[in-house]
């Protein structure tokens, strides 16, 4: 949804600047968000696509893979599970930039999308998503985004492995969305198609083991595109995708009847408070200050706490390009701990705010969030381990429970 504030840079939706920002912060996919290049991490665009048989992680992160087996050097350094696409055969299908010739697998991905994998944002937008699904045959980038999400969702929730197809569809969708944003269309249907593709890419990022920075970057890009390019959402297929519209629909979902067991929220508050000495930058203190309001608000009202979390979720769209680059920098341990606390308190809040019978569309998301958290704390120096006690214990608890309700984040 659009943030309460505005971006410090009117060019934040530039795809070329986005590529530089994303790779400089986490070597992630190129996304439609502009942020400044981190001068401490010199980059090269050459040689990127020359590793034809590189592992999935390196292809997705768009870095050079040295193709060592069973684990390449980048995956070993980041403690990632390293896997490679199958050796191509003459009969192997190839995903082309134009998806007019669909395979049977693509039809399965599409079916998964329209029946199970529709993004949870905007809230109560099923009708709009059906319109977008019908529009996908007119927009190649939307078709690839839909198929990529369907493939990732199937992979996470079944025994099938469609990681290769999901990655290929995703890379094509990102490339084509960036091309669209280099000269944004003016008609509402095309703008809706771009926004829908971004929602799909965000949701797919939440199903990727090392997709944290990618997830945050595309979310920020989506917020800025709504503000800078779309503006008026009243004629969109997602007319409720505004701050007011989201808050109104949230009020219909939140329950205020039970707030008995506040143990997890209390433990979260203590852990968050321990992070304060680590914070240096003004944006970190602003982010921390908003997050610290959640435990206080939940004592008064579930809805009030939800609204604060909603603001926190879109808050990075108000950061400058430099601030956002530092927020998602994996070597900025203070910011990384703040982000992990934000992702985990989502589940803590949902257990209080939502009814136990709230449908869960993507239970595998919980598994991914736990991996993000554990990967982040495993890469931190020994001096930071004392700040990760609650993260470890809460991840263990989440892993053991079947309750994986979350508020509205994809």
Per-residue model confidence as pLDDT tens digits over 294-310: 999 998 888 899 889 98
Q: Judge contact between 207 and 364, C-beta under 8 A.
A: yes
Which residue, chain included where needed, has tokens 């969030």? 369
Residue 39 falls in which region: left (phi positive, over 0), alpha (psi -120 to 50) or beta: alpha
Kindly report, residue by residue over 193-209, the tens digit of the pLDDT.
998 999 999 999 999 98
d(CA 72, CA 82): 7
- In Å, how far are 259, 336, 380 from 76, measured between CA atoms? 44, 20, 15
d(CA 273, CA 135): 47
Which residue, chain included where needed, has tokens 């008609």? 187
Kindly report, residue by residue over 23-52, the tens digit of the pLDDT.
444 444 433 333 333 444 444 433 333 445
Sorted by sequence, the CB contacts under 8 Å of residue 53 that are 6+ apart come out as 67, 84, 85, 87
The H or E element spanning position 178 is helix 163-182
pLDDT tens string, the chain, 410 residues long: the values are 433 444 343 333 443 434 434 444 444 443 333 333 344 444 443 333 344 578 888 888 788 888 887 788 888 888 788 887 765 444 444 455 555 556 788 999 999 999 988 888 777 778 888 888 888 888 999 999 999 999 999 999 888 899 999 999 999 999 999 998 888 888 888 888 998 999 999 999 999 988 899 899 988 887 777 777 776 777 887 876 766 777 777 777 777 766 667 889 999 999 999 999 999 999 999 999 999 999 999 988 888 998 899 889 888 888 999 999 999 999 999 999 999 999 999 999 888 888 777 777 778 889 999 999 999 999 999 999 899 999 999 999 999 987 777 776 54
Which residue, chain included where needed, has tokens 């400089």? 24
Residue 257 falls in which region: left (phi positive, over 0), alpha (psi -120 to 50) or beta: alpha
* Residue 193 backbone phi and psi in degrees, to 5: -65, -40
| pTM for the predicted model, two decimal places | 0.72
> For 301-384, where are the alpha helices, taking DSSP H only?
302-314, 321-327, 333-353, 364-378
Q: Which of 188, 199, 248 is nearest to 223 (CA)?
A: 199
d(CA 30, CA 49): 14
Kindly report, residue by residue over 91-117, the tens digit of the pLDDT.
444 455 555 556 788 999 999 999 988
């Amino acid at each position: 949804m659009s943030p309460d504030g505005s971006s410090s840079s009117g060019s934040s939706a530039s795809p070329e600047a986005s590529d530089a920002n994303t790779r400089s912060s986490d070597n992630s996919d190129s996304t439609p968000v502009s942020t400044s290049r981190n001068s401490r991490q010199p980059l090269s665009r050459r040689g990127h696509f020359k590793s034809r048989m590189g592992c999935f992680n390196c292809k997705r992160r768009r870095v050079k893979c040295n193709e060592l087996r069973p684990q390449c050097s980048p995956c070993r350094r980041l403690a990632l599970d390293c896997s490679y696409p199958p050796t191509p055969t003459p009969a192997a299908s190839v995903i082309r930039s134009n998806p007019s010739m669909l395979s049977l697998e693509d039809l399965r991905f599409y079916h998964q999308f329209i029946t199970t994998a529709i993004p949870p944002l905007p809230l109560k937008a099923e009708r709009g998503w059906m319109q977008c699904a019908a529009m996908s045959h007119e927009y190649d980038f939307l078709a690839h985004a839909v198929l990529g999400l369907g493939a990732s969702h199937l992979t996470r929730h079944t025994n099938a492995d469609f990681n290769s197809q999901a990655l290929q569809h995703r890379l094509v969708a990102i490339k084509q969305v960036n091309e669209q944003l280099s000269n944004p269309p003016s008609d509402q249907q095309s703008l809706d198609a771009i926004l829908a593709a971004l929602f799909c890419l965000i949701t797919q990022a939440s199903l990727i083991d090392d997709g944290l920075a990618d997830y945050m970057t595309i979310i920020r890009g989506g917020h800025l595109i709504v503000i800078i390019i779309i503006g008026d959402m009243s004629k969109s297929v997602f007319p409720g995708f505004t701050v007011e519209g989201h808050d109104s629909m949230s009020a219909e979902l939140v329950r205020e009847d039970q707030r008995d067991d506040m143990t997890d929220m209390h433990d979260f508050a203590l852990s968050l408070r321990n992070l304060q000495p680590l914070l240096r930058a003004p944006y970190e203190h602003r982010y921390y200050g908003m997050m610290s309001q959640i435990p206080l608000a939940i004592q008064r009202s579930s809805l009030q706490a939800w609204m604060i979390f909603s603001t926190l979720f879109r808050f990075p769209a108000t950061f400058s390009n430099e601030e956002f680059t530092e927020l998602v920098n994996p070597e900025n341990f203070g910011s990384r701990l703040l982000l992990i606390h934000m992702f985990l308190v989502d589940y803590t809040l949902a257990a209080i705010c939502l009814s136990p019978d709230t449908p869960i569309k993507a239970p595998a998301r919980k598994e991914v969030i736990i991996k993000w958290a554990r990967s982040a704390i495993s890469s931190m120096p020994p001096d930071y381990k004392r700040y990760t006690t609650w993260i470890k214990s809460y991840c263990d608890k989440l892993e053991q429970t079947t309750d994986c309700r979350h508020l509205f984040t994809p």
